[in-house]
């Protein structure tokens, strides 16, 4: 496993060791001991999520304010552009974002620690995203920041208007958003 820091050092790109031959491939998508040794994080995952979306669906930017979640994100079908926004007021990278292309072919994963908003846009015809979380989902705890907030100026790699849920259409501006201490 190779671990690469992004522009926000706490957000990590994880490249698994993939064993492949004419039959296909095999890799460990998660091993708690190796994750602790190589990544240095001992987060305990309590929930696995799986989403399937069509091209131009944009999900996010989501976070939970009182029961925050760390997320380990990977794509098993298609390709996405995945984004993490630092909402930790005490951080040197507060209100900055980092984005990475994730796809089924490269098998990379993105570690998004507690204290970040998360979102992605689907670039392929279909994408399936799997992610582990360090805390349980609570509807009443979820918050959403506008995907196109001008203060964030996220460079989403899309040409068309994205397909959004009602929840994501009603997201708050970064200035109005609740943040972590």
Residues belonging to the binding site for substrate are 23, 28, 47-49, 59, 71, 118, 142, 167
Distance (Å) of CA 79 to CA 82, 100, 121, 125, 169: 9, 10, 9, 9, 23
Report the relative pairing of strands 24-26 and 2-5 from DSSP bridges: unpaired
Q: Catalogue the active-site residues.
A: 62, 131
Binding annotation: 23, 28, 47-49, 59, 71, 118, 142, 167
Instruction: Look at residue 168 and give its three-state secondary structure.
Output: helix
Contact 81, 124 (CB under 8 A): no
Q: Which residue bears the tokens 């091993």?
A: 31
């Amino acid at each position: 496993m190779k671990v690469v820091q992004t522009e926000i050092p706490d957000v990590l790109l994880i490249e698994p060791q993939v064993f492949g031959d004419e039959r296909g491939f095999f890799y460990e998508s998660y091993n708690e001991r190796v994750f602790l040794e190589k990544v240095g994080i001992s987060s305990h995952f309590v929930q696995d999520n799986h989403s399937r979306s069509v091209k131009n669906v944009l999900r996010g930017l989501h976070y939970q304010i009182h029961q925050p979640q760390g997320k380990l994100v990977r794509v098993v079908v298609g390709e996405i552009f995945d984004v993490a926004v630092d909402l930790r007021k005490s951080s040197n990278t507060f209100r900055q974002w980092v984005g990475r292309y994730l796809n089924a072919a490269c098998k990379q994963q993105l570690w998004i620690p507690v204290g970040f908003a998360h979102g992605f846009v689907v670039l392929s015809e279909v994408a399936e995203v799997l992610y582990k979380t360090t805390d349980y989902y609570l509807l009443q705890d979820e918050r959403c920041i506008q995907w196109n907030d001008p203060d964030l100026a996220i460079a989403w790699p899309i040409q068309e208007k994205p397909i959004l849920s009602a929840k994501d259409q009603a997201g708050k501006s970064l200035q109005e958003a609740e943040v972590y201490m």
